[in-house]
């Protein structure tokens, strides 16, 4: 009997440990087959959301299956959900298109599997196009494409098919798509700078790499510009600090806790938290801080309706609109014209929130004051008119020259930004 | 009527347990509004439906089997080696370390891979010996010592990945730079499995079976496990035997970690153990520590893991459902075993 109790208690311990190691799976079981669009409450933004839950079963003469690997949960209100809804957009707009996907594709959530292996699962289910959605899957995407040179493959955010890039690998049917989120981040930084009362802006960073350095730096450039030119203050008084958590989202036990990082910002004088991670902890914690009577605002990231989780502190969200991006490529695959490509897509400046044309957008939030909104619109108009904040003089964080006076950064210089910029606090590369 | 202590009676209870676990999982699925039959079918076809799937199951099976093999020895010695996760991790770290040191030398890849395996074994043994030393000389229960060392192992992995072994200019828990293909354990053409790791896994469990069934060492180890005090009184150095069990289990765990690096991920990632240590504990409990059953049951668990990937694709179900089934199996088998013992005990009285 004693032994049995020992068994039982150990099992419990083991179960708890397993549970601890399996980070909160946002219960996909709760809503089995319902497209996520349904859980987006009708909001000012709802007109932009392709909300058509019925569209999944389009009776079409010819079925075209495409597969997507999502690094996080499909309903993360962030990066992965933006992709998922991009897939829904393709289903709606390409006759016969059907998306299959696997979410939570990372080694902590799916132990013992690799993205390349999961891509083969999608392939065996009939997918004619495989989309790897995350930077984290870069090696696996290339591995998969090399093992399956006849399968059209897209790696979002990657540079493997960029001939000017440093990681170019020649593959016949491999494409890279990414939006120029630098603009979205500049707008985010501007909104933060126009709002902060303390002059301290915190950036909740994911992991450190080329992409995240340039995006955090873009937010800083936007913040600095607006702090000076619209708020009429001295950029030297603006504090901009980046704290990295180590991955795109929280994986308990493996990353820093973004909730904790956001709280640390809000408790130490930073009154705006810009999120660079896939999930919405920054926004949620700012909401709690505000409820506790503090001045707190946040700018989430990635997903058009991200503000919904805490509207009254949300200044707006820079987001990806993958629908038109993937529609074009899916069409190309269907037509048999798909070939290796690299694209880094700017917003549609005539309307950055056009769901059919703009790969990157910025949805203003309810907490943005009318005055700030006016300035922000003016800033967006400046960007549309050709304002390039990646223009020298700009130094890297350690003081080395990055761009000479008047020098405009090339795509390669921006993409592979080696450090954060001068004036920003935070690590440029990981700690030794 | 069956004799209540007969093998048939025992077997009947096990069948009952399996049925109960299936019913339980089915109820969970019904609650989640998922079609159970379809789900079971998907798990089945997703694990044995094609050569590629079978190969993937084998890839998952080997480290799980190795971990289970090691655990059979510590269980035999009456030890709960919860620290096996950390031992797998340290094996992986040592293997990665060896490969990093040697990859740019002129040494032949075959030799480097071999050294990688040996380094993994060493890493697992060192980590297991810490738990053993704490237990035998420090009086720290191996469960707590092992748990603590698991956390240390994870912290060490993360420190290495973000620090000394980081990819140039990158600070991400994605893992270290993948090793060159030459340093991958040779795979079967077009598949991910490797005959070499399959061989290692099968030889591993065979060795454990032989140790436990056919050697004096195994017999004494079991004596230590059944009744340490009595074993000590009749002259078995129990401390030494427990330590040996830790060493051998650590070696197997380290080998599992080495396999994860050399044959599966080809680099160090934070969750390198893939939870096979904990899963191995469950397999060992499920088979009531009988080495003969380790291979098939571990294979079944691996098949559940691989097959369940179909659930999110087709049914939008969470694939941790396979974990529910695995956990339910262990729980119900243990529970039924307890019930059976009670019934038997009453009869005796």
A147 and A87 in one domain?
Answer: yes
A121–B163: do the CB atoms touch at under 8 Å? no
Question: What pLDDT sits at residue B169?
Answer: 85
ipTM metric: 0.89
B24 contacts: CB under 8 Å, gap ≥ 6: B324, B328, B332
Interface of B with A in 44-73 (CB under 8 A): 46, 50, 52, 56, 60
Interface of B with A in 183-212 (CB under 8 A): 192
Chain A interface, mutation test: which of B80, B318, B333, most A Cβ atoms within 10 Å?
A: B318
Residues of B in contact with A7 (CB under 8 A): 285, 334
Q: Do the Cβ atoms of B80 and B278 come closer than 8 Å?
A: no
A152 and A111 in one domain?
Answer: yes
Q: For chain B, list the domains and their CATH numbers.
A: 1-34+317-349 (no CATH), 50-311 (1.10.3470)
A18–B166: do the CB atoms touch at under 8 Å? no
Partner residue facing A429 (CB), from B171, B306, B314: B171
A100–B313: do the CB atoms touch at under 8 Å? yes
Displacement of CA B310 from its chain's centroid (Å): 23
The half-sphere exposure of B85 on its side-chain side, counting CA atoms within 13 A, is 28
A25–B318: do the CB atoms touch at under 8 Å? yes
Phi, psi of A396 (to 5 degrees): -75, 170
Length of chain B: 349
Question: What pLDDT sits at residue B220?
Answer: 94
DSSP A392: S
Q: Is A26 a member of any domain?
A: no
A112–B323: do the CB atoms touch at under 8 Å? no
A409 and A393 in one domain?
Answer: yes
A403 and A257 in one domain?
Answer: yes
A192 and A89 in one domain?
Answer: no
A174 and A54 in one domain?
Answer: yes
B155 touches chain A (CB under 8 A): no
Partner residue facing B275 (CB), from A11, A18, A254: A18
Count of pairs with CB atoms under 8 A, one residue in A, one in B: 152
| Residue B130 to residue A392: CA distance in whole angstroms | 56
B22 touches chain A (CB under 8 A): no
State how beta strands A297-299 and A272-275 pair.
parallel
For residue A74, give the chain B residue with the closest CA: B316
Q: Is A10 a member of any domain?
A: no
Question: What pLDDT sits at residue B333?
Answer: 87
B17 contacts: CB under 8 Å, gap ≥ 6: B329, B332, B333, B335, B336, B337
Q: Is A227 a member of any domain?
A: yes
A122–B331: do the CB atoms touch at under 8 Å? no
- Here the tokens at position A253 are 């036990």
Single out the residue of A135, A180, A131 nearest to residue A360, CA to CA: A180
- In angstroms, the Cα distances linking A347 to A96, A206, A332, A344, A358 are 28, 23, 21, 10, 5
Within 10 angstroms of residue A413's Cβ, the number of other Cβ atoms is 16
A345, containing H or E segment: strand A341-345
The half-sphere exposure of A191 on its side-chain side, counting CA atoms within 13 A, is 32
Question: What pLDDT sits at residue A430?
Answer: 55
Q: How many domains does chain A have?
A: 2
Length of chain A: 432
| Residue B93 to residue A381: CA distance in whole angstroms | 52
Each residue's pLDDT, cut to its tens digit, for chain A (432 residues) gives 445 454 555 444 444 444 444 433 333 333 344 444 444 444 444 444 444 444 555 455 589 999 999 999 999 999 999 999 999 999 999 999 999 999 999 988 898 999 999 999 999 999 999 999 999 999 999 999 999 999 999 999 999 999 999 999 999 999 999 999 999 999 999 999 999 999 999 999 999 999 999 999 999 999 999 999 999 999 999 999 999 999 999 998 889 999 999 999 999 999 999 999 999 999 999 999 999 999 999 999 999 999 999 999 999 999 999 999 999 999 999 999 999 999 999 999 999 999 999 999 999 999 999 999 999 999 999 999 999 999 999 999 999 999 999 999 999 999 999 999 999 999 988 544
> CATH number of the domain that A420 lies in?
3.40.50.2300
For residue B50, give the chain A residue with the closest CA: A124
Taking each helix axis as running N to C, give the angle between helix B51-76 and helix B84-102, from 0 to 180 degrees, rounded to the nearest 10.
120
Partner residue facing A117 (CB), from B56, B143, B166: B56
Single out the residue of A360, A417, A409 nearest to residue A384, CA to CA: A360
- Here the tokens at position B189 are 């053409």
Q: Is A7 a member of any domain?
A: no
Single out the residue of B87, B50, B55 nearest to residue B71, CA to CA: B87
A108–B172: do the CB atoms touch at under 8 Å? no
A247–B172: do the CB atoms touch at under 8 Å? yes
Q: Is A51 a member of any domain?
A: yes
Question: What pLDDT sits at residue A429?
Answer: 80
A238 and A96 in one domain?
Answer: no
CB-count burial class (<10 Å; 0-12, 13-18, 19+) for A8: middle
Partner residue facing B309 (CB), from A32, A121, A136: A121
Interface of B with A in 103-142 (CB under 8 A): none
Question: What pLDDT sits at residue A22?
Answer: 41
- Here the tokens at position B299 are 């294979």
Q: Do the Cβ atoms of A389 and A193 come closer than 8 Å?
A: no
Partner residue facing B265 (CB), from A108, A114, A253: A114
Partner residue facing B313 (CB), from A14, A102, A251: A102
Q: Is A18 a member of any domain?
A: no
Q: Do the Cβ atoms of A191 and A372 come closer than 8 Å?
A: yes
Alpha-helical segments (H) within B176-237: 195-214, 216-226, 228-233
B38 touches chain A (CB under 8 A): no
A160 and A63 in one domain?
Answer: yes
A32–B173: do the CB atoms touch at under 8 Å? no
Q: Is A351 a member of any domain?
A: no
Q: Is A359 a member of any domain?
A: no
Question: What pLDDT sits at residue B338?
Answer: 86
A174 and A53 in one domain?
Answer: yes
| Residue B185 to residue B192: CA distance in whole angstroms | 10
B171–A122: do the CB atoms touch at under 8 Å? no
Residues of A in contact with B171 (CB under 8 A): 207-209, 244, 246, 427, 429-431
Single out the residue of A117, A157, A80 nearest to residue A343, CA to CA: A157
Each residue's pLDDT, cut to its tens digit, for chain B (349 residues) gives 445 557 777 788 888 888 999 999 999 889 888 899 999 999 999 999 999 999 999 999 999 999 999 999 999 999 999 999 999 999 999 999 999 999 999 999 999 999 999 999 999 999 999 999 999 999 999 999 999 999 999 999 999 999 999 998 888 888 999 999 999 999 998 899 999 999 999 999 999 999 999 999 999 999 999 998 999 999 999 999 999 999 999 999 999 999 999 999 999 999 999 999 999 999 999 998 999 999 999 999 999 999 999 988 888 888 788 888 888 988 998 888 888 888 887 655 4
Chain A interface, mutation test: which of B89, B268, B313, most A Cβ atoms within 10 Å?
A: B313
A374 and A238 in one domain?
Answer: yes
CA max distance for chain B: 72
Partner residue facing B309 (CB), from A27, A113, A253: A113
Chain B interface, mutation test: which of A112, A138, A397, most B Cβ atoms within 10 Å?
A: A112
A69 and A120 in one domain?
Answer: yes
Range of the domain at A170: 46-179+322-345
A410 and A288 in one domain?
Answer: yes
Residues of B in contact with A101 (CB under 8 A): 312-313
Q: Interior CA angle at A33 toward B319 and A121, to 5°?
A: 45
């Amino acid at each position: 009997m004693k032994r049995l109790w020992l068994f039982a208690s150990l099992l419990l311990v083991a179960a708890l440990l397993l549970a601890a190691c399996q980070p909160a799976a946002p219960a996909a079981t709760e809503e089995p087959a319902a497209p996520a669009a349904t859980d987006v409450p009708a909001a000012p933004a709802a007109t932009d959301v392709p909300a058509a839950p019925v569209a999944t079963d389009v009776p079409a003469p010819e079925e075209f299956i495409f597969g997507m690997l999502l690094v996080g949960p499909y309903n993360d209100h962030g990066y992965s959900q933006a992709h998922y809804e991009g897939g829904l957009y393709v289903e709606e707009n390409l006759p016969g298109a059907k998306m299959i996907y696997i979410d939570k594709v990372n080694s902590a959530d799916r132990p013992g599997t690799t993205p390349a292996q999961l891509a083969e699962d999608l392939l065996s289910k009939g997918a004619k196009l495989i989309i790897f959605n995350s930077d984290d899957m870069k090696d696996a995407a290339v591995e998969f494409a090399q093992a399956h040179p006849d399968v059209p493959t897209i790696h979002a955010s990657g540079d493997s098919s960029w001939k000017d890039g440093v990681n170019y690998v020649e593959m016949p049917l491999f494409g890279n798509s990414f939006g120029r989120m630098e603009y979205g981040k500049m707008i985010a930084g501007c909104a933060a700078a126009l709002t902060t009362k303390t002059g301290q802006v915190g950036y909740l960073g994911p992991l450190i790499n080329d992409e995240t350095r340039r995006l955090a730096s873009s937010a800083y450039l936007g913040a600095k510009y607006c702090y000076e030119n619209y708020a009429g203050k001295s950029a030297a008084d603006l504090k901009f600090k980046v704290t990295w958590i180590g991955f795109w989202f929280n994986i308990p036990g493996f990353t820093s806790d973004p909730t904790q990082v956001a709280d640390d910002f809000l408790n130490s004088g930073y009154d705006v938290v810009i999120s660079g991670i896939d999930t919405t902890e920054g926004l949620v914690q700012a909401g709690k801080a505000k409820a506790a009577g503090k001045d707190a605002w946040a700018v989430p990231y990635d997903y058009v309706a991200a503000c919904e989780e805490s509207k009254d502190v949300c200044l707006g969200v820079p987001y990806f609109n993958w629908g038109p991006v993937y529609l074009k490529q899916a069409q190309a695959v269907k037509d048999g014209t798909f070939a290796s490509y690299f694209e880094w897509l700017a917003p549609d400046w005539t309307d950055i929130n056009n769901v059919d044309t703009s790969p990157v957008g910025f949805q203003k939030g309810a907490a943005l004051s009318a005055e700030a909104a006016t300035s922000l619109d003016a800033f967006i108009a400046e960007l549309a008119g050709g304002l390039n904040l990646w223009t020298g003089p700009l130094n890297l964080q350690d003081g080395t020259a990055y761009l000479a006076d008047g020098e405009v950064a090339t795509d390669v210089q921006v993409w592979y930004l080696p450090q954060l910029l001068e004036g920003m606090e935070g690590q440029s590369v990981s700690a030794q | 009527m069956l004799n209540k202590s007969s093998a048939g009676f025992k077997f009947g209870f096990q069948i009952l347990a399996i049925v109960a676990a299936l019913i339980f999982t089915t109820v969970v699925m019904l609650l989640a509004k998922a079609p159970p039959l379809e789900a079971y079918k998907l798990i089945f076809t997703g694990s044995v439906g094609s050569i590629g799937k079978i190969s993937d199951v084998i890839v998952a099976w080997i480290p799980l089997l190795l971990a289970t093999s090691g655990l059979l020895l510590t269980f035999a010695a009456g030890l709960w080696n919860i620290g096996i996760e950390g031992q797998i991790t340290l094996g992986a770290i040592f293997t990665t370390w060896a490969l990093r040191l040697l990859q740019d030398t002129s040494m032949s890849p075959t030799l480097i891979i071999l050294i990688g395996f040996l380094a993994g074994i060493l890493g697992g043994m060192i980590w297991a010996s810490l738990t053993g030393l704490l237990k035998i000389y420090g009086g720290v229960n191996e469960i707590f010592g092992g748990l603590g060392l698991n956390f240390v192992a994870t912290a060490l992995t993360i420190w290495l990945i973000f620090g000394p072994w980081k990819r140039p200019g990158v600070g991400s828990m994605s893992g270290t730079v993948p090793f060159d293909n030459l340093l991958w354990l040779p795979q079967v053409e077009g598949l991910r499995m490797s005959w070499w790791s399959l061989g290692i896994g099968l030889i591993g469990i065979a060795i454990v079976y032989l140790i436990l069934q056919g050697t004096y060492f195994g017999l004494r180890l079991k004596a230590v496990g059944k009744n340490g005090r009595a074993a000590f009184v009749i002259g078995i150095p129990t401390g030494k035997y427990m330590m040996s069990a830790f060493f051998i289990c650590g070696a197997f765990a380290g080998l599992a970690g080495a396999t994860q690096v050399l044959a599966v991920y080809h680099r160090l990632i934070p969750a390198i153990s893939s939870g096979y240590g904990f899963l191995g504990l469950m397999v060992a409990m499920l088979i009531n520590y009988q080495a003969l059953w380790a291979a098939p049951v571990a294979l079944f668990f691996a098949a559940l893991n691989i097959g369940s990937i179909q659930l999110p694709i087709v049914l939008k179900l969470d694939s941790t459902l396979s974990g529910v089934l695995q956990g339910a199996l262990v729980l119900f088998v243990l529970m039924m075993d307890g019930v059976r013992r009670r019934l038997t005990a009453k009869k005796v009285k």
